[in-house]
Amino acid sequence: MARRTRRNHTPAFKAQVAVAALKSDKTLAELAQQYDIHPNQITDWKRQLTERAVQVFGDASSPASSDPDLTKLHAKIGQLALENDFLEHALTKAGLLSARR
């Protein structure tokens, strides 16, 4: 019997199989035969789906899932630019910074 080449399954296929396993309409052996994959693979995908489901319904304020607040970042940039201009002017006036850089 020849070995089967390694197959790469799409995320959509993995999700479909894992959801079917969670439904428990069929046994693991029936699902494995239906989708032509090993029962251990179904178990792994089912476990991954249940572990990562928390990320889908997780806290919206978590740093990993939230986008940076652009208004705060623009305000910080403005503040830093103002401070740089002030310090440059003060150092130039004191003679510690040459007019030409």
Domain coordinates of the chain in residue numbers?
9-58, 68-101
This prediction has a pTM of 0.54
pLDDT in tens, 77-88: 999 999 999 999
pLDDT in tens, 57-76: 876 555 554 567 888 999 99
Which residue's structure tokens are 């070995």? 3
The CA distances from residue 90 to 30, 58, 78, 83, 84, in Å, are: 78, 49, 18, 10, 10
Ordered DSSP codes for the chain:
-PPPPP----HHHHHHHHHHHHHTSS-HHHHHHHHTS-HHHHHHHHHHHHHHHHHHSS-TT-TTTPPP-HHHHHHHHHHHHHHHHHHHHHHHHHTSS-S--
pLDDT in tens, 26-61: 999 999 999 999 999 999 999 999 998 888 787 655
At CA 2, angle to CA 45 and CA 10, rounded to 5? Answer: 25
